[in-house]
């Protein structure tokens, strides 16, 4: 199984709603990532989890709250979002966190397309 599964595929929410995006992988990968991608732009790194601990937060607003319940699951909790937060949210995983060694091939999910009204 070389898949990263993201749910839901599409989400529409109001600015006062609370919702969550979910990501799952069963490849035994110990690093998991959230990226945000706006239309016609490259992905932007949001969070990195390594061995279930948050290792990088790229100055993401607190209305985005990540959670890694176990090594296979990664959640992104959303609260009080703004319309400009509408984007494709991509989850990815790699065998291990790799700042420099380049040993971390990334496996991406299909993404969750979020629309904030």
Partner 1 sequence: KNEVEQSPQNLTAQEGEFITINCSYSVGISALHWLQQHPGGGIVSLFMLSSGKKKHGRLIATINIQEKHSSLHITASHPRDSAVYICAVGGSEKLVFGKGMKLTVNP
Q: What residues make contact with partner 1 under the rule CB under 8 A? A: 6, 31, 33, 41-43, 45, 48, 55-56, 88, 90, 92, 94, 97-111, 113
Least separation in angstroms between residue 12's CB and partner 1 is 15
Query: Which one, 32 or 81, has the nearer CB to partner 1?
Result: 32
Q: How far apart are CA 36 and CA 44, in angstroms?
A: 5
| Cis-peptide, bond into residue 8, ω within 30° of zero | yes
Q: Angle at Cα 62 formed by Cα 23 and Cα 16, nearest 5°?
A: 85
Residue count of the chain: 117
Least separation in angstroms between residue 10's CB and partner 1 is 10
Query: Which one, 82 or 96, has the nearer CB to partner 1?
Result: 96
């Amino acid at each position: 199984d070389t898949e990263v599964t993201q749910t839901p595929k599409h989400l529409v929410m109001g600015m006062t709603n609370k919702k969550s995006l979910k990501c799952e992988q069963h490849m035994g990968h110990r690093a998991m990532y959230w990226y945000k991608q706006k239309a016609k732009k490259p992905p932007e790194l949001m969070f990195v989890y390594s061995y279930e601990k948050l290792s990088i937060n790229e100055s993401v607003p607190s209305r985005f709250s990540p959670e890694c319940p176990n090594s296979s699951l990664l959640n992104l909790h959303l609260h009080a979002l703004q319309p400009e937060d509408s984007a494709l949210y991509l989850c990815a995983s790699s065998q291990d966190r790799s700042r420099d060694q380049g040993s971390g091939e990334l496996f991406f999910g299909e993404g969750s397309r979020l629309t904030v009204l």
